[in-house]
């Protein structure tokens, strides 16, 4: 047990307006990284932003000054290709200075496209899809054995649900009654080749998770109020929680929103400037 506890649960660091401001900053960091020499997973990082902000700025018990605090909640980004989104959120939350993000993709940098635990706040390396939920099962089992109220959150992509290992872990989680485990699906509807429903369909998604024994809700994945309220909801005893967050791939950049080709992008100088201008314009309007 740690000597100093992380902030108590339920202590939001911000109101909704502040959360929205954080989300805008996170989006700017993502866009900046995609303007670097390697480019990055733009679309699926932009769709993730509010999910990450809701968790890191409101729902989770974490302390950026003590990223290895034994009493912290755990977040596993199973869709590891959202790595730059995770880095941006961690930087914005204060795990490390945002200036460090400039190293992303560079030689010798710990900021690889897929998250690595060398980066403060990253719990486990991810990137090969279908791993996070099983890791989450182990994390939740450990918390239960410790008689701890720590929570474990796993963020998955929707295309990722085509991996069979997800459903193995889904059965193990409900079969063992892991109500301290919450998963969020970034349901942006797209994978590399196109729409998930035309590649290998996932619907009826909520019914599938319910049938697997998960307490399942669906929310607008860009509505911070809806997300925080769903994620703060006390779990149904004996059942893991699934929050299906309906999102838009490339959210915030109208010229790529909802397009599969936004999956990976290297933004040229002009595109970079345009993207930042669009994000900042939204900021001044107070919109999302």
Partner 1 sequence: MTTATAPLSSRETYRDVLLELMPADERLVCLDSDTGLFNGADFGTAAERYVNLGIAEHTLMGAAAGLARKGRIPFVNTMAAFASTRALEAVKLDIALNGLPVRIAATHSGVSAGHLGPTHHSLEDLAVMRLLPNMTVVVPADAAATASLLRQSLHLPGPVYLRLGRNATPDLPTDAPPVELGRIQVLRRGDAVTLAACGPYPVHAALAAADQLAAAGIEATVLNVHTVKPLDTATLLTAAEVTGAVVTVEEHWRSGGFGSAVAEALAERSATTVRRIGMPDAFASVSGGHQYQLERAGITARAVVEQAREALGV
Q: For residues 140 and 226, which CB has a smaller minimum distance to partner 1 in the complex?
A: 140
Task: Give the contacts of 7 (CB within 8 A, at least 6 positions apart).
Answer: 61, 62, 63
- Candidate residues 39, 103, 117, 225; the one interacting with partner 1 per rule CB under 8 A: 117
Provide, rounded to whole angstroms, the least separation between the CB of residue 161 and partner 1.
15
Burial of 139 (0-12, 13-18, 19+ CB in 10 A): buried
Provide, rounded to whole angstroms, the least separation between the CB of residue 218 and partner 1.
25
Q: For residues 127 and 283, which CB has a smaller minimum distance to partner 1 in the complex?
A: 127
Provide, rounded to whole angstroms, the least separation between the CB of residue 206 and partner 1.
22
Provide, rounded to whole angstroms, the least separation between the CB of residue 113 and partner 1.
15
Provide, rounded to whole angstroms, the least separation between the CB of residue 131 and partner 1.
6
Residues 156-175 touching partner 1, rule: CB under 8 A, are: 165, 168-169, 171-172, 175
- 75 touching partner 1, by CB under 8 A: no
Residues 176-195 touching partner 1, rule: CB under 8 A, are: 176
Which tokens is 73 given?
């909640």
Q: For residues 59 and 166, which CB has a smaller minimum distance to partner 1 in the complex?
A: 166
* 102 C-beta neighbours (distance < 10 Å), count: 14
Task: Give the contacts of 23 (CB within 8 A, at least 6 positions apart).
Answer: 49, 50, 53, 224, 288
* 138 C-beta neighbours (distance < 10 Å), count: 13
Residues 201-230 touching partner 1, rule: CB under 8 A, are: none
- Interatomic CA distance for residues 231 and 222, integer angstroms: 13
How does DSSP classify residue 126? Answer: -
Peptide bond between residue 56 and the one before it cis (omega within 30 degrees of 0): no
Q: What are phi and psi of 8, to 5 degrees?
A: -60, 155
Binding mask 118-157 for partner 1 (x = CB under 8 A): -----xxx-xx-xx-xxxxxxxxxxx-xx-----x-----
- Interatomic CA distance for residues 255 and 246, integer angstroms: 19
Q: For residues 102 and 172, which CB has a smaller minimum distance to partner 1 in the complex?
A: 172
Q: For residues 4 and 145, which CB has a smaller minimum distance to partner 1 in the complex?
A: 145
Beta bridge partners of 77: 155
Provide, rounded to whole angstroms, the least separation between the CB of residue 118 and partner 1.
12
Q: Under the rule (CB under 8 A), what is the footprint of partner 1?
A: 117, 123-125, 127-128, 130-131, 133-143, 145-146, 152, 165, 168-169, 171-172, 175-176
């Amino acid at each position: 047990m740690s000597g100093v506890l992380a902030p108590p649960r339920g202590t939001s660091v911000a109101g909704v307006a502040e959360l929205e401001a954080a989300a805008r900053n996170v989006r700017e960091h993502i866009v900046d990284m995609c303007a670097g020499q390697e480019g990055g997973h733009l679309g699926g990082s932009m769709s993730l932003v509010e999910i990450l902000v809701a968790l890191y700025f409101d729902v989770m018990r974490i302390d950026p000054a003590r990223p290895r605090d034994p009493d912290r909640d755990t977040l596993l980004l199973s869709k590891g290709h959202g790595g730059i989104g995770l880095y941006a959120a961690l930087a914005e939350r204060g795990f490390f200075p945002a200036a460090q993000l400039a190293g992303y993709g560079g030689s010798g940098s710990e900021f690889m496209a897929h998250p690595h635990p060398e980066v403060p706040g990253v719990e486990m390396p991810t990137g090969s899809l279908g791993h996070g939920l099983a890791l989450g099962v182990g994390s939740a089992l450990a918390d239960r054995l410790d008689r701890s109220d720590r929570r474990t959150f796993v963020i998955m992509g929707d295309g990722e649900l085509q991996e069979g290992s997800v459903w193995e872990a889904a059965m193990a989680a409900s079969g063992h009654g892991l109500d301290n485990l919450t998963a969020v699906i970034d349901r942006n509807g797209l994978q590399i080749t196109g729409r998930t429903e035309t590649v290998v369909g996932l619907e009826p998604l909520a019914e599938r998770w319910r049938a697997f024994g998960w307490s399942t809700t669906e929310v607008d994945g860009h509505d911070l109020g809806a997300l925080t309220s769903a994620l703060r909801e006390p779990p149904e005893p004996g059942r893991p929680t699934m929050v299906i967050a309906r999102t838009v791939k490339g959210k915030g950049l109208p010229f790529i929103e909802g397009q599969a080709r936004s999956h990976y992008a290297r933004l040229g100088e002009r595109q970079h400037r345009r993207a930042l201008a669009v994000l900042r314009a939204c900021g001044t309007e107070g919109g999302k």
